[in-house]
Each structure stands twice: as C-alpha cells, then as structure tokens.
Amino acid sequence: MFVGEAPGEQEDVQGRPFVGAAGKLLTELLASIGLRREDVYITNIVKCRPPNNRPPRKDESAACRPYLDRQLALIHPSVICPMGNSAIHALIDSDESVTALHGIPFEVGSITYFPMYHPAAALYTLGLRRVMEEDFKKLKRLLNSI
C-alpha cells in the first residue's frame, strides 16, 4: 500500500489518487521493480485537496483518519509505504522527517513500514529521483524477502 498526503488538482478532478505528474512518476518507479499500479493499493491521508495545494493540517488528517483506517482494514497490507512527511507523521509515531526515515524499513505489529519521498518532491528536486529509484530497489528486495 502506498499512501500519499492529499489529492492534487488532477486527482481531485478525476477522483483517483496519483493520476497527475507525480502519479506518472510513481507508475514508472513501480514498473522499475516489476510492479503495476494494479498490483498495489494507492491512497492518500486526506481525501480532499487542501486549499492552494498546501500540506494537510493535523486536524484535516485526523478528520480523514477513519476513511484511511477502513481502507487499511479492508486491504490488510503487509507493507505500507508512506510517501512524504504528512503521510509519515500520520501513520508512524515519529517526528523524524522523510529525509531521516526514507528507505529504512521497520515493523509495527504485523506491518512493515517503508517511508519514501513523495514522487512530487522528485519532480521539483531532480536529485531526489535517483534517491527514489534507489529506495524502490530496496523496496523490491524487501518485498522479495517477505
């Protein structure tokens, strides 16, 4: 399961997560490790686009949490990849940033969390694309070991 922070403009229009430029990059990164979008579940912490595309506030994340919890209960993922700080902070009890946590798997109960940068970050900071490619290779090794 991949969890982003909030819908962007195209996601809000189409009602589907990761269908814009960040979604295209996510699809490419998945393909680089032999996965298709149909092989994974993709969602967001909040279900509506925040004003001016700002990161979701904690109260917005909390308001949408029951929807995410229901998705988690239905999907029963063994691996969750929170993408970006908002998703990491909403799912993991840590104040650490994505910079500190990305690419490092850890277990909470029966779930392995594998924090990653949000694909949109790699669109704005080109050096992050290589970091994400390396993290996806680590993810592939993790998935192969499970």
pLDDT (tens digit per residue) in 43-55? 999 998 888 888 8
The DSSP string of the chain is -EEESS--HHHHHHTSSS-SHHHHHHHHHHHHTT--GGGS-EEESSSSPPGGGPPPPHHHHHHHHHHHHHHHHHH--SEEEEBSHHHHHHHSS----HHHHTT--EEETTEEE--B--HHHHHHSTHHHHHHHHHHHHHHHHHHH-
- Kindly report, residue by residue over 99-133, the tens digit of the pLDDT: 999 999 999 889 999 999 999 999 999 899 999 99
pTM: 0.94
Task: Look up the CATH number of the domain holding residue 53.
Answer: 3.40.470.10
Does the pLDDT of residue 8 top 90, yes or no? no
Could you tell me the residue range of the domain that residue 29 belongs to?
2-145
**Structural domains counted in the chain:** 1
